[in-house]
Structure 1
Amino acid sequence: MANIKELLKRKGLPILLFYLCAVACRSIAVYVLPAIAPDGSHSLWQQLCEGLGPTLGALVVMCFFKKKLFCSIMGASPKRSVFCILFPILLLLLFDRTNGLKGAFIFLCCVSYAFLEEFGWRGYLMGELANWKRPWRILFMTTLWFFWHVNVPLGINGCIFFAILLLSSWGLDQLANDTHSLVLCACLHGVFNLFKHNNGLLDYRLTIVLLAISILSWFVVWYYPFHRRNTQS
């Protein structure tokens, strides 16, 4: 309760402004833009607009309240963050002759969309809640994230979706704390979206294997060097 009271006193207005901007932008992208341009409902720019809200909300709050990001774009290691983007692209282009170019493009699009979300959720909001106990922070952020989607499913499907977001929030919260890299968070978030929407890529076993290798490599390059350094010291 003390954390909640502190939030309302010192951080309530910035968080409220952030969330209103995020939800408003999402609502426009989901309900207004398809009515204006019905033929572009599945276009790249319109899908990116759906994820723009958290970034826009974070930038507005940073401008008006002089807030700083909890995570930076590259985090604790720019080299590792760049690796997270380039390695999957190279794998797909070099080894996947069926889906290589298409897969690399869709991967970049999914990561770009995810980055727009992560800039707000893990970049800004997580910093505002950094002093909260982790379970409460994750639950609070998951709830905001769930309703931000505006067109959330109802009933059992809604419960499943909330559970997926809760699990994702737990994992991304840990990654953000450990690496402070928005790029890494966006890559994992983006790959999850890629698997969720398929886009025809998952019909080929090689594509799935290359993506799985990429995910494994991200954890190796981020966590193994730190673990080795700690054990040697």
Structure 2
Amino acid sequence: MKIDWKNIILFVLIAFGISYPVQQGYLTDFFLSFTKNSFISESEYLLAGFSTLIAAIVVLTFHQNLSKRITILGDDKIKNALILVLPIIAFSISGLNNNFGMNESFYGFAFALINTIYAFTEEFGWRRYLQNALEGLNKNLKYIFIGVIWWIWHLRFETQFDIFIFPLICICGGFLLGKLADDTGSILPVTAMHTLIILTTNSGIFGINEIMGIGIVILGWILIELLWKRKKAHNTVHN
């Protein structure tokens, strides 16, 4: 499949153009005007996710013959939906410490839910559009390319960590998430993995609650995978 670089560049320009004022803090006062004293008051990054979502929606209206390898639900719709909601369930059980005086379980639920929505908005752009648009490119190059774009999109260049370590995190993360999207054909498992990364890095001090939440998620994902393999084996025998 021929790669339409013109529309890919348009996607990148729109995503960067919308995310720039967010990443540079120009919308901080606006964000605080309606989130002050709420549990997301320090999560201005949530606005940035709309940049990739909007860019993808705009470019999808122009980009013809786009690959449909990766969709929202994929082929195993129920399985992928269960994978998506598992971090929300897990962190509702484990709870999360917070400085807002909120019940830990409710905060775990609310923080996981809002970040699942955020991760979906990002991954709709990175996977549903950009990864499909790069179909035909060598897979490893595709994952690395998206990882590099993801790093630059954050516009973090102030420290040595931002310049030397953070790009490696984005490239490795892009590789992992890209392969997961190709393997499942859905952005939901990718969204769930992205959410888990956020929950274990942006929720505050990494402690027993986070460890317990991660453990529940991993065990749940393993159980879902085993159940689906058993279901497929059962269907194969009876067919």
Distance 1:55 1:189 in 2: 15
**Length, aligned pairs only:** 224
Q: Determine whether 1:19 maps to 2:12.
A: yes
Distance 1:58 1:223 in 2: 34
Larger helix percent? 1
Q: Determine whether 1:50 maps to 2:44.
A: no
Q: Residue in 2 aligned with 1:84?
A: 83
Contact kept, 8 Å, 1:69 with 1:124, in 2: the verdict is no
Q: Residue in 1 aligned with 2:142?
A: 137
Distance 2:169 2:62 in 1: 33
Q: Could you list the structure 1 runs, at least 4 aligned residues long, displaced by more than 6 angstroms after superposition.
A: none
RMSD of aligned Cα (Å): 3.0
Distance 1:99 1:75 in 2: 33
Q: Determine whether 1:182 maps to 2:190.
A: no
Q: How does 1:62-141 map to 2 (within 5 A)?
A: 62-66=60-64, 67=66, 69-94=68-93, 96=95, 99-141=104-146
Q: 1:155 aligns with which of 151, 160, 166?
A: 160
Contact kept, 8 Å, 1:110 with 1:191, in 2: the verdict is no
Q: What TM-score do you get using the length of structure 2 for normalisation?
A: 0.79
1:24-73: per-residue Cα shift (whole Å, max 9, x none)?
A: 11012233312555655863884322111111111111112244654222
Q: What TM-score do you get using the length of structure 1 for normalisation?
A: 0.81
Shift of 1:83: 1.4
Identity of aligned residues (%): 23
Shift of 1:170: 1.4
Q: Which runs of 5+ in 1 are unaligned?
A: none
SS in 2 for 1:168: helix
Q: 2:27 aligns with which of 27, 30, 33?
A: 33
Relative to structure 1, the CA distance from residue 104 to residue 174 in structure 2 (aligned partners, 3 Å threshold; closer, same or farther) is same
Distance 1:176 1:206 in 2: 28
State the AA in 2 paired with 1:84.
I
Contact kept, 8 Å, 2:200 with 2:210, in 1: the verdict is no
State the AA in 2 paired with 1:20.
L
Contact kept, 8 Å, 1:21 with 1:57, in 2: the verdict is yes
1:87-127: per-residue Cα shift (whole Å, max 9, x none)?
A: 34344445659621111111111211111110011111111
Distance 1:91 1:154 in 2: 34
Q: Which runs of 5+ in 2 are unaligned?
A: 97-102
Q: 1:209 aligns with which of 191, 204, 212?
A: 212
1:196-231: per-residue Cα shift (whole Å, max 9, x none)?
A: 11235x33x14421332213422442476348847x
